[in-house]
Amino acid sequence: MVDFARVQKELQECSRDIERSGIKVIPKNEATLARLIGTIPGPVGTPYEGGTFQIDIALPDAYPFEPPKMQFTTKVWHPNISSQSGAICLDILKDQWSPALTLKTALLSVQALLSAPQPDDPQDAVVAQQYLKDYQTFVGTARYWTETFAKKSSLGIGEKVQKLVEMGFPEAQARSTLEAVGGDENLALEKLCSG
């Protein structure tokens, strides 16, 4: 059974330090602490700089004795992150996990992975090959994906609702979905399309 007291303490630790680290963890819904949403800022000096990346976190029943299951919900162009599913190839999320680690340290490690790709142990072979053989194209693609998927639009909520209405969604549904995902157009569109 998940140690919910520990999870609550970890969430409090993250919220106390959010100004300094930029790392945020919140429950996915009010019903349980076993499903969370983590948010990390793109590291400075990388193609991910300026982006805000969301990570889905599922805590297994044996947490903290088993690692959390994490995957990006924000699309990322990186050798160790699947460009299709958001799956993350990182040792501490697998066999190097320790109960001494926390959700925050795991997210800091994911953020560090954005700064230091490991193309020799890829999750996405296509991205890894591009990183190794055509680094400038890799950087350009990673930066483009960050601009497209990880940066908040400068549009106001009204303009975003209007764009979704023009795509055929009812205005009330578009507005409530946008509000539920914090104004993120891409997440709202994904949620609207998935029903």
Per annotation, catalytic residue among 59, 81, 89, 150: 89
Active-site residue flag, 89: yes
pLDDT of residue 155: 62
pLDDT of residue 190: 83
Instruction: State phi, psi for 116 to the nearest 5 degrees.
Output: -135, 75
Mean pLDDT in consecutive groups of 10 residues from the start of the chain, 195 residues: 89 88 88 91 96 95 95 96 95 95 96 96 96 96 92 73 87 86 80 80
Neighbours of 171 (CB within 10 A): 11
pLDDT of residue 67: 97
Q: Are 78 and 127 in contact (CB under 8 A)?
A: yes
